[in-house]
Amino acid sequence: MKAPVICALLAALLLAGFFRLKGLTFQSLWLDELVNLYRSAPALSPGEIFSFCRDVEHNPPFFYILTWLWQKIWGVGEYSARLLPALIGVAGVAAVFGLGCRIFSRKAGLIAAFITVFLPFHIRYSQEVRPYALLFLVTVCSYLFLVRLLDNPSWKNTIFYFFFTGLMLYTHYYGILVLVAQIFFLIIYFLTYSGPARAPLLKRTLLSLFLIVFSYLPWIPTLNRQLRLDSFWPDPPQPDFFLNFFKRYFGQEPYLTSVFTLLIILYLIGSAKKDRFPENKLLIASWVFIVLFIPYLRSFNHPPIVIPRYSIAILPGIILMASRGLLMFRDLKLRYFLLGTVILMFLINLFYTGGNYYSRVKKEQWRQTVEYIIKRDPGARYPVCGFECFGYYFNDIFHSPRSILPRIQTLQQAQSCLEKVRKGEIPGFWVLEAHQYEFADDSIHKFLDNNLDNLDSIRLKGAKATLYGRETDSTRDEQR
C-alpha cells in the first residue's frame, strides 16, 4: 500500500480507538452484560461455560470463552471487560477496510473504514460486553477470505475462510444465516463461472464448506433445541422492520438515512465491471437480503428473532454498498462534501441530537443500584433476591459479598421469603427488579406490600431495589 493510504488507515484506527474507549465505563453494565461476565468468570472452567451456553443461553459459546480468557489475563473489572469489545470494534474498522479494498478499491475501503469509525450503532456495540462487535468482525473476515479464496484457491485462503466462518457460527446464531447467504452466492457463482481452473476452485471451496459444517456438528443438537423454542421476548416484526433498523444504524437522523439510501441505490444501479471482484453485487445483496428476511419469514409461525442488534451481521454490507455508491460521483468536491457531512452528522448525533452518547444514561443502572444497597446495608444483613449475575457487582467489583437468593418470579417464592422472615431466619430481603420493574404476576407486589414493611427502596433507569422486612425501632434508626 502507498504511504497516504497507510496514513489514512492509521488515522481511522486511532479515531476508532478514541471513540470506542471514550466513556467506556460511564454506562453501568446492564443485565445481559452482567450475565455474560458472571457466566465467563475466571473461576469457571471452559466446560462449565459450554454447559451454560448449551443449556441456558441463547448464544453460542465463543464470545463467552473469549471473555473468560480475557479476564484470566487482564483481571476482573468494568474497564477490563469492556476493553475487549472496544478493541474488537477497532479491529472491525480494519476488517471493513480490507474487504472494501478486496471487492472494490482502496478508496472504497477507506471510505467504508471512516464510516464505520463514526457510526453510532457500531460504537454502541463496541462498548458492550456482548458478542455483537465480534459478530461484525468475524462476518467481515469470513467474507474477506471467501473472496480471497475465489480469487486464489490456495490452502492459506481455504483454511482462513474455514477458520473465520467457524468462529462466526460459534459467535451468534445469525452466523448460520450468513453462511446460508454465502452458500446461495456460491451456487449462483459456480453456475455462471467460466474462468480458468474451475475444478480446483470448486474443490477448495467445497472442502472449506465441509470443514465448516463438520466443525459445527457438536453444536447441532443445541441448535435444534433453540429452533424448537416456543417463546421468545421480542414482538413480531412489522413489514417495515428493515426501515426502522436502517434508521437505527444512523442514529435516526433523516439526513443520514436519506444520504445512505441514495448511495445504496447508486451502487445497485451502477456498473461493477471495474471493481476488483465484479460479482460484488450478488455477494452483498444476497448477504443483506437473506440474513434479514429468513428470520422475518420464520417469525410468521415461530417466535420472532428479528432484533436490531442481531442485524449487525448485515451492517458491513450496508456500509460497503454506501461506500461504493459514493464513488459513483465523479466530482471529487461532491464526494468530499457528502462524506464530510455524513461524518459531521454522525458527530452531531453522538454529542447532541442523540442526547450525548458519552454523558447521557442509556443503560440499566445496576452499578448505582448495587452501590446504594452496599451503602444502606454495609453489613450485608439482608440477602438479595435477584439474578445470580448481580453477584458480579457485589463480589467481584465492590468486594461486598452477600447471599443472592433466587429472584422472585411466583407468589409461592414470595411466600417462602416471607416465611423466612417470620421464622427469624433472615431480618428481611432486598428485591431487585430489572427492565420495567414488573413481576410476572402483579399479585406479588400486593402480597409483599401487605405482609411486610417497605424499609427502603431506590428506582433508577431500568433497575429497582426494594428492601422488605419488619419495621422495628432498630431498623428505623438504621434507615436514618
Burial tier of 236 (Cβ tally within 10 Å: 0-12, 13-18, 19+)? exposed
Q: DSSP string spanning 217-231?
A: GGGHHHHHHHHT---
pLDDT at 129: 97
Residue 478's pLDDT band (cuts 50, 70, 90): low
Burial tier of 88 (Cβ tally within 10 Å: 0-12, 13-18, 19+)? buried
Do residues 178 and 313 touch, judged by C-beta distance below 8 A?
yes
User: For residue 31, which amino acid is it?
Assistant: L
Residue 437's pLDDT band (cuts 50, 70, 90): low
Residue 174 has pLDDT above 70, yes or no: yes
Q: What is the pLDDT of residues 139-168, one digit of tens each?
A: 999 999 999 999 999 999 999 999 999 999
Architecture of domain 366-479: 3-Layer(aba) Sandwich (3.40)
Backbone φ and ψ of 105, nearest 5°: -165, 170
Average pLDDT over every residue of 317-324: 98
pLDDT at 235: 83
pLDDT at 438: 62
Alpha carbon distance 270, 415 (integer Å):
67
Alpha carbon distance 417, 356 (integer Å):
42
Average pLDDT over every residue of 185-204: 88
Residue 473's pLDDT band (cuts 50, 70, 90): very low
Q: What is the pLDDT of residues 277-313, one digit of tens each?
A: 999 999 999 999 999 999 999 988 888 889 999 999 9
Residue 238 has pLDDT above 80, yes or no: yes
Residues near 162 by beta carbon (within 8 Å), at least 6 away in sequence: 208, 211, 212, 215
Alpha carbon distance 154, 157 (integer Å):
5
Alpha carbon distance 371, 398 (integer Å):
8
User: Could you say which DSSP state residue 253 is in?
Assistant: -
pLDDT at 11: 97
User: Where is 405: in which H helix or E strand?
Assistant: strand 404-405
Residue 429 has pLDDT above 70, yes or no: yes
Alpha carbon distance 142, 99 (integer Å):
10
Alpha carbon distance 247, 259 (integer Å):
11
Q: Which three cell numbers stand for residue 156?
A: 492459506
Q: Where are the alpha helices (DSSP H) in 217-364?
A: 220-227, 241-249, 254-269, 280-298, 315-326, 332-348
pLDDT at 479: 52
Residues near 287 by beta carbon (within 8 Å), at least 6 away in sequence: 143, 178, 181, 182, 185, 314, 317
Percent of the chain with pLDDT over 70: 97
Axis-axis angle for helices 31-38, 62-74 (nearest 10): 70
Average pLDDT over every residue of 184-209: 89
Residue 37's pLDDT band (cuts 50, 70, 90): very high
Alpha carbon distance 201, 165 (integer Å):
18
Q: Are strands 463-469 and 404-405 parallel, antiparallel or unpaired?
A: unpaired
Alpha carbon distance 398, 30 (integer Å):
16
Residue 462's pLDDT band (cuts 50, 70, 90): very high
Burial profile 302-312: b = 16 or more Cβ within 10 angstroms, e = fewer: eebbbbebbbb
Compute the C-alpha angle 126/124/143, nearest 5°. 50
Alpha carbon distance 133, 238 (integer Å):
26
- Give the best-scoring range by mean pLDDT among 23-32, 355-364, 406-415: 23-32
Residue 211 has pLDDT above 60, yes or no: yes
Compute the C-alpha angle 13/17/20, nearest 5°. 135
pLDDT at 441: 66
Q: Both ends of the chain: CA-CA distance in Å?
A: 68
The residue that leads in pLDDT, 442 or 304, is 304
- Residue 304 DSSP SS3: coil
What is the separation of C-alpha 480 from the centre of its chain, rounded to a whole number of angstroms? 43
Average pLDDT over every residue of 456-470: 93
Q: Which three cell numbers stand for residue 235?
A: 414482538
Residues near 477 by beta carbon (within 8 Å), at least 6 away in sequence: none
Alpha carbon distance 421, 145 (integer Å):
61
Average pLDDT over every residue of 88-100: 98
For 279, half-sphere exposure in the C-beta direction (CA atoms, 13 angstrom radius) is 21
Do residues 398 and 370 touch, judged by C-beta distance below 8 A?
yes
Residue 475 has pLDDT above 70, yes or no: no
pLDDT at 443: 86
Average pLDDT over every residue of 430-450: 80
Alpha carbon distance 5, 110 (integer Å):
8
User: Could you say which DSSP state residue 374 is in?
Assistant: H
In the chain, CATH 3.40.190 sits at 366-479
Residues near 56 by beta carbon (within 8 Å), at least 6 away in sequence: none
Alpha carbon distance 211, 228 (integer Å):
26
pLDDT at 439: 59
User: Where is 431: in which H helix or E strand?
Assistant: strand 428-434
Average pLDDT over every residue of 410-427: 93
Residue 315 has pLDDT above 60, yes or no: yes
Residue 324 has pLDDT above 90, yes or no: yes
Do residues 174 and 291 touch, judged by C-beta distance below 8 A?
yes
Residues near 243 by beta carbon (within 8 Å), at least 6 away in sequence: none
How many Cβ atoms from other residues are within 10 Å of residue 398's Cβ? 14
